[in-house]
Amino acid sequence: MAVDTKHPLWGKFAPYWKKMRDTYAGSDRVKEERQEYLPATQGMIEDGMNASTDKGYQRYEAYLKRAVFHDFVKDAVKIAIGAMFCKPPKIDLPPEMESLRERATPNGETLEMLLRRINVEQLVTGRLGLFADFPSRPTANQLPYLVVYAAESIINWDDGDFDESNLPRLNLVVLCETEFERKETFEWEQVEKYRVLVLGNVDTNEPPGVPAQALFQVVEKDSGSTDAFNAEALKPFLYKGRGLSDLPFVIVNAADVVADPDYPALSGLADIALAAYRGEADYRQNLFMQAQDTLVTVGSSEEDHRIGAGASINLKHGGEAYFIGVSADGLGEMAKALAADKTEAAHRAGQLIDNRARPFESGEALKVRQSGQSATLTEIAKAGAFGLQTILRTIAVWIGADPSKVVVEPNLDFSLTGMMTQELVELMTAKAQGAPISLRTIHTLMVERGLSRLSFEQELTEIEKDPEFLGTDVAGDNADPEDDAPSAGETSNDVTGQ
């Protein structure tokens, strides 16, 4: 078969990936797809939709322009990413790999920026690939770098048959790298290319534990070629003479790192956004028609009439003139349905992380609600971090470093979105009224909420520089100085000071 053969599951999930890409891109992309997301009415079709001069085509253009698409999907992704990175992830590397921390990709992305991009792809399509590539002529200290492949580019894969004694192992991956290349001074040409990754024999699935060599080949297809792949031309992955016994490729889904894809987490939100888009189109079309009443004359001697200020209508004796228009019946129901769609979409966009306390809601109830809402986001964060950790450990093995020293831990605390001044006032008031809480503990909360970056001792030193501004001592009028002052041997790592 040809190298561009696609996995059966690729065809099943490609429509979901396209829908998610389009709704995440926004209004212009959605409207470019025209009837894919906004079908023409039967009347438009009957009036002709083939040419720009057809009446139906012109009516559809107006129908399309009046429609409004709301960025519910993009807003949901922004909310989720903001929550996931409200605190930085923990990334540990062996000394030999430290240079990757600040430059991990050909685009110069840091590892934290790369993890953010991984999480965005997980939220949008629910799938991506991480590939450890290497320069063709690496310098003395140059390391392999990381490349992100979109879900659509991973066209074929094989991880063998799964059973209880045989864990999956990637044996084949085919990546589409088709791109435009400048062939002449000002001319560009699309070049169809595929990168084939093979473990051992291309026709055999090597199970875990069986020695095998990771191989690759970049296949460039001519316009008339049906299959340019040649197993004899496969090359081993070599970095300074050292090869690999596993493919330097990791597939990351929304909640796992298995080879087969899963449905995007925000697919339901995209469906609601598109339903609201079609509802907007119908509602605004009806509003437009409401303002376009038709003049009817009885007994008029003229074929055309001007209406408005300064115009006149001449009628025969006994004639009459009046307007007829589209009935407004149903507009109210349309508005209600549209409002319901918007409410549901906004709810789904925001419910990934919603840490606002409800009136009379206990702290434990809030904690339970947040835990349930952030479950999907937690899975995404863990899967993304594990995928990045796995490919970084592959690089460590490749260059002869200790893979156990590679650790990627995502931020899983999505509830702390910053301390508001009112919260601080309430804490200080509670302390003044006798609540058993020390200034050191309050300061620890301030650091966790991003209100301060100083240690408790550093904060005390800074406060001493401007006592006239505070108008009081450090501990406050009702505080016990012995309770809050740092004792001998106490460090900033003592979060309670007790």
Full domain range(s) for residue 438 = 421-484
State how far the Cα of 408 lies from the Cα of 80, in Å rounded to an integer.
19
Query: What local confidence, expressed as pLDDT, does residue 160 receive?
Result: 77
The residues pairing with 253 across neighbouring beta strands, listed in sequence order, are: 127
CA dist list (Å): 323 to 248, 292, 443: 72, 10, 72
- Whether 434 maps to a domain, the answer reads yes
Query: What local confidence, expressed as pLDDT, does residue 295 receive?
Result: 67
Q: How many domains does the chain have?
A: 1
- Whether 453 maps to a domain, the answer reads yes
- Whether 87 maps to a domain, the answer reads no
Radius of gyration (C-alpha) of the chain in whole angstroms? 32
Torsion of CA 301, 305, 307, 312, to 10 degrees: -40
Residues of the chain with pLDDT below 50 are: 354-374, 416-417, 470-498
- Whether 425 maps to a domain, the answer reads yes
Q: What is the DSSP letter of 45?
A: H
Please report where in the chains the tokens 């947040």 appear, as a residue. Answer: 370
Query: What local confidence, expressed as pLDDT, does residue 249 receive?
Result: 95
- Whether 437 maps to a domain, the answer reads yes
Angle, helices 421-432/439-448, rounded to nearest 10 degrees = 170
Q: For all residues of the chain together, what is the average pLDDT?
A: 80
- Using alpha carbons, select from 453, 411, 442 the residue that is nearest to residue 86: 411
Query: What local confidence, expressed as pLDDT, does residue 214 receive?
Result: 87
Proportion of the chain above pLDDT 90, given as a percent: 34
- Whether 361 maps to a domain, the answer reads no
Query: What local confidence, expressed as pLDDT, does residue 348 receive?
Result: 67
State how far the Cα of 370 lies from the Cα of 361, in Å rounded to an integer.
12
Question: What is the enclosing helix (H) or strand (E) of 265?
Answer: none
The strand pair at 90-92 and 235-236 is best described as unpaired
- Whether 45 maps to a domain, the answer reads no
Query: What local confidence, expressed as pLDDT, does residue 349 receive?
Result: 64
